[in-house]
């Protein structure tokens, strides 16, 4: 089955073609980062308009790269949520329109299920069951994954997501959006021993996270340095380093706990923050200590992309799931707990 995947939930237009027999055939992405950068964050209306402009040419590019005509598509998957409603509607309506014209099935899929299963696109994918840390700009969650659609939420952020905290810390440090990579770059020159930030919610049991206090702590540290006339480039790097250490350490502590609690030996890390080099280094050390394995999507599939949507859509479409004709879905808030395995999945041995 050849499935076209469409992702437009936020500030990236992603399109890909996944063939259930041959694997990923092509993928293309247009990032709106440069467009939003001058506003310091995503402007929803600009995002929707840009998706409208980019989507059809990207679909054509993916078809050309895969050497396929439109009429050779078997189905279409798109991100139905969570995300910005206007941006989601661009992908949803395009997918439904195209599916109607080609008379093929179409299915709206969950963005976070895409991130969760993105490592399945790699050469050595993790076997079920595994624990997963989903860390993006909108979510920080630990999930136990028994199979497709079989997810148990172990813990999540009670306030800001880890990526959001990176973005806010970046703003305070005068860095460009998106903040994660910028903070990580600045932190490289920082001294990890000069400042120590708290590791929120690690001193009590449980797998929930909280990152909003860390934001306040960062602001206070910056103000104190500023008041003392010490906020030079070196001090900014030290703040970035202390902040990154605190977030990474907190994530690592909770991952360790999740593996202990579930007895699982495989950990998937996905979502934008999974690109963080310091996090990867620390998790690799932890995994080696306990004879566990960590799996990541390839670099460009850590952040939003069409490939993960095509992949998840393909698995569910194969099992017979599809949207009703003309019933496009755009669901801005959509908890992952509501997901279920597709009916008929057992028949397919998924
Ligand atoms: O998954 P994603 O592309 O979009 C959402 O679904 O939110 O994640 C984007 C988030 C942003 O908050 C960005 O700052 C963060 O991932 N990020 C990073 C790094 N690269 C991206 N955070 C820390 N270190 C990085 N290297
Ligand atoms: Zn995402």
State which ligand 1 atom lies nearest to the alpha carbon of 170. Answer: 14
The structure's pTM equals 0.93
Ligand-binding site membership of 14 (annotated): no
Number of neighbouring beta carbons within 10 Å of residue 115:
31
Comparing 56-70, 73-87, 334-348, which segment has the lowest mean pLDDT?
A: 334-348
Question: For residue range 118-151, what is the model confidence (pLDDT) as tens digits?
Answer: 999 999 999 999 999 999 998 999 999 999 999 9
CA distance 133 to 296: 10
CA distance 24 to 35: 29
Smallest CA-to-CA distance from 8 within 69, 58, 67 is with: 58
pLDDT of 343: 82
Question: For residue range 204-231, what is the model confidence (pLDDT) as tens digits?
Answer: 899 999 999 999 999 999 999 999 999 9
Q: What is the mean pLDDT of residues 297-304?
A: 94
Site to probe by mutation for ligand 1, drawn from 170, 268, 273, 283 as the one with most ligand atoms within 8 Å of Cβ, is 273
Inter-CA distances, 272 with 52, 69, 301, 327, 333, Å? 23, 32, 9, 30, 19
CA distance 350 to 346: 6
pLDDT of 345: 62
Residue 350 has pLDDT above 60, yes or no: no
pLDDT of 344: 63
Q: What is the mean pLDDT of residues 193-208?
A: 94
Site to probe by mutation for ligand 1, drawn from 303, 307, 333 as the one with most ligand atoms within 8 Å of Cβ, is 303
pLDDT of 162: 97
Best-predicted range by mean pLDDT (33-47, 283-297, 332-346): 283-297
pLDDT over 90 for what percent of the chain?
93
CA distance 207 to 142: 7
Smallest CA-to-CA distance from 155 within 14, 257, 23 is with: 257
136 lines ligand 1 (CB under 6 A): yes
DSSP 138: S
Residue 41 has pLDDT above 90, yes or no: no
Question: Which pLDDT band holds residue 348 (cuts at 50, 70, 90)?
Answer: very low
Q: What is the mean pLDDT of residues 88-106?
A: 98
Name all domains of the chain by residue range, CATH numbers in brackets. Answer: 2-117+301-348 (3.30.420.40), 128-296 (3.30.420.40)
181 lines ligand 1 (CB under 6 A): yes
Question: Which pLDDT band holds residue 346 (cuts at 50, 70, 90)?
Answer: low
- Ligand in nearest proximity to the CA of 11: 1
Between 44 and 350, name the one with better pLDDT.
Answer: 44
Q: What is the mean pLDDT of residues 60-79?
A: 98
Residue 40 has pLDDT above 90, yes or no: no
Q: What is the mean pLDDT of residues 173-198?
A: 95
CA quadruple 335, 336, 340, 342: dihedral, nearest 10: 110
149 lines ligand 1 (CB under 6 A): no
CA distance 53 to 73: 22
Residue 349 has pLDDT above 60, yes or no: no
């Amino acid at each position: 089955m050849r499935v076209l995947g469409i992702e437009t939930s936020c500030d990236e237009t992603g399109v890909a073609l996944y063939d259930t027999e041959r694997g990923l055939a092509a993928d293309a992405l247009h990032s709106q980062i440069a467009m939003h950068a001058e506003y310091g964050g995503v402007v929803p209306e600009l995002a929707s308009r840009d998706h409208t402009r980019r989507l059809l040419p990207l679909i054509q590019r993916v078809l050309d790269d895969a050497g396929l005509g439109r009429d050779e598509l078997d189905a279409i998957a798109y991100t139905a949520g969570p995300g910005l409603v206007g941006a989601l509607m661009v992908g949803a309506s395009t997918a439904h329109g195209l599916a109607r014209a080609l008379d093929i099935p179409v299915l709206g899929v969950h963005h976070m299920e895409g991130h969760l299963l993105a490592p399945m696109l790699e050469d050595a994918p993790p076997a079920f069951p595994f624990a997963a840390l989903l860390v993006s700009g909108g979510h920080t969650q630990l999930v136990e994954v028994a199979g497709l659609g079989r997810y148990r939420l172990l813990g999540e952020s009670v306030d800001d997501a880890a990526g959001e905290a990176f973005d806010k810390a970046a703003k305070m440090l005068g860095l460009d959006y998106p903040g994660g990579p910028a903070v990580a770059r600045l932190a490289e020159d920082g001294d990890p021993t000069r400042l120590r930030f708290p590791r929120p919610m690690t001193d009590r049991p449980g797998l929930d996270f909280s990152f909003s206090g860390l934001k306040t702590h960062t602001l206070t540290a910056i103000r104190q340095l500023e008041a003392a006339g010490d906020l030079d480039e070196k001090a900014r790097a030290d703040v970035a380093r202390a902040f990154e250490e605190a977030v990474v350490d907190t994530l690592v502590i909770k991952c360790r706990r999740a593996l202990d609690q579930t007895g699982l030996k495989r950990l998937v890390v996905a979502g934008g923050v999974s690109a963080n080099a310091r996090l990867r280094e620390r998790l690799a050390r932890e995994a080696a200590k306990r004879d566990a394995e960590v799996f990541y999507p390839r670099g460009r599939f850590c952040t939003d992309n069409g490939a993960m949507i095509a992949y998840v859509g393909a698995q569910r479409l194969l099992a017979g799931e599809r949207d009703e004709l003309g019933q496009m879905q755009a669901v801005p808030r959509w908890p992952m707990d509501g997901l279920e395995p597709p009916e008929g999945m057992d028949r397919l041995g998924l």
